[in-house]
Amino acid sequence: MLRFLFLILVIPRLYSGQTIQDCKKRFHTYLNFREQLSNRVEFTSDAIFFLNRKGQKELAVYQHEINMIAEFFENTTPAEQMEFIRKKGLTKYSKRQRDSLWILMDDDKKPSKRKRQKPLQGYRIAIDAGHFAANIQEARLEQKFLAIVKDSLRSPGDTSFLFEAELNFITAQLIQKKLEEAGATVFNPRKSKGLTALGCSYADWFRLYRERTLDSLQRCKELSEERAQQLKLLSPYKLFWAFFRDFELAHRARLINQQKPHLTLIVHYNVDEQNAPWIRLSSRNATMCFIGGAFTADNLSKTESYLHFIRMVLSNQLNESEKLSALTVTAFSNRLQINKAHTEDIDYLNDNCLKTNSEGVFSRNLMLCRLINSPLVYGEALFQDNVMEFDRLLQAVSSTDKTPLTSRLASVAECYTEAVINYCKNK
Ligand SMILES: [Zn+2]
């Protein structure tokens, strides 16, 4: 696969040039959670310095290198990025060195400008349908389900279940259909309801592939022998939380990044946090979207996170994610008639997130928001345990073979589609 091309001639590029000021603004708007990273980056009039854990400058990015290095971090592996930091350090590249490092993007990395017959022709869009549990055993393990006892409407003890993974998956399929009709090429890392991104259920993975996976991670030194042995002894529930959850999310991100999407939609439904343990319905509802950012000092202790952080400071992916997310949350609010969430009303928005300049859009260092290498929206359209929504969602899933186009899930899918089309129109 063509990754680098060391060019002798300068190829003129159409760039909306990033300045040091742009990066500084991005760092403060999206990334520097409670000023915890102020000692890891220094912005001067002619350079951006990234500092290691000991406070020593280890990478300088000068004004005219920003675009090149941003692109480098969007197109290379962690090992290549570490090597780059080690070699470049604080040196200032000559024009020749800079030009020699330009990465020739795959021709189709940017959507082709040929006259489009359809609004999304030429776009590759990934859709991640959150979670995977579609039965009560796996949902208990993943802790993403509602079991509501509806004593007023039905006989006491009659419990209705909603599995978030199922809502996400049906919604993703509806979005996929609409985006494909609009000309996009769509990729979904999960092939069927109830399957993880590894192509099997968690129960099957645990039974058939657990040992093999842990052994191979041990062989390539991603796990120590001791850790791999410990993990092998864990119960399905404990192994899910100690290992599988993050392992599967990283696999989703890897599959998505391989497709080099122009955009990624991450589809979830929320609950009212004040309504835990979610055995009855709530009157509250709110809509919100997340993008990456909001790194804490601890987050940067892992090399891989530090490299993602550098990419996010230098490239304009976060700004693009905010635009896409602002369009999405506005579509949710208008079409679904739900108010946008505010920091004061919800603890995790206050405790873990940075609010952006777009109402209802928050930076949050969720794993997929960090690992996925494209502009993205992580949508949380509504509260499933809201008294009105719960019934609408139950209705939508009870006719799973053919989700009515008037269902609540279809309306949510319409919001994502509208936001994508508007976003691409403005590009
Ligand atoms: Zn979720």
Tens digit of each residue's pLDDT (9 = 90 or more) over 239-276: 999 999 999 999 999 999 999 999 999 999 999 999 99
Q: How far is the CA of 385 from the centre of ligand 1 (A)?
A: 13
Task: For tokens 């079991």, name the residue.
Answer: 147
The CA 112 to ligand 1 mean position distance, Å, reads: 34
User: What separation in Å is there between the alpha carbon of 130 and the centre of ligand 1?
Assistant: 6
Distance 131 CA to ligand 1 centre (A): 6
Task: Tell me how far the alpha carbon of residue 323 lies from the centroid of ligand 1, in angstroms.
Answer: 22
Contact 114, 86 (CB under 8 A): no
CA of 268 to the centre of ligand 1 (A): 4
Looking at residue 407, its amino acid is S
Per-residue confidence (pLDDT) for residue 29, from 0 to 100: 97
Which residue's structure tokens are 């996400």?
A: 168
Query: From the CA of 322, how far away is ligand 1's center (Å)?
Result: 20
**172 CA to centre of ligand 1 in angstroms:** 13
Q: Which domains does the chain have, with CATH numbers?
A: 20-101 (no CATH), 124-195+251-425 (3.40.630.40)
What does the pLDDT read at residue 4?
A: 46
Portion of the chain with pLDDT greater than 70, in percent: 89
Dig out the tokens for 6 from the structure: 């060391």
CA of 296 to the centre of ligand 1 (A): 22
51 vs 285: CA distance, rounded Å: 42
Question: Would you state the structure tokens that stand for residue 97, as one six-digit string?
Answer: 């060195």
Is residue 135 within 8 A of residue 166, CB to CB? The reply is: no
Q: Which of 319, 307, 289, 314 is nearest to 381 (CA)?
A: 289
Quote the ligand 1 centre to 270 CA distance (angstroms): 6
Cα 394 to ligand 1 centre (Å): 17
CA dist 116 → 106, 112, 122, 281, 347 (Å): 20, 9, 8, 47, 45
State the DSSP string of 259-289: T--SEEEEEEEE--GGGTT-SS-BS---BEE
Burial 119-134 (b: 16+ CB within 10 A, else e): bbbbbbbbbbbbbbbb
The Å distance, Cα 165 to ligand 1 centre, comes to: 7
d(CA 327, CA 307): 29
pLDDT the model gives residue 292:
98
Query: How far, in Å, is the centroid of ligand 1 from the Cα of 205?
Result: 21
| The token pair that represents 49 in the structure block | 């310095």
Bond from prior residue into 12 cis (ω within 30 degrees of 0):
no
**What pTM does this model have?**
0.92
What are the structure tokens assigned to 60, written together?
Answer: 């300088």
Compute, in angstroms, the gap from residue 144 CA to the centroid of ligand 1: 7
Segments of the chain with pLDDT less than 70: 1-16, 102-109, 112-115, 150-157, 399-405
Residue 324 to residues 38, 125, 144, 204: CA-CA distances in angstroms?
28, 13, 26, 37
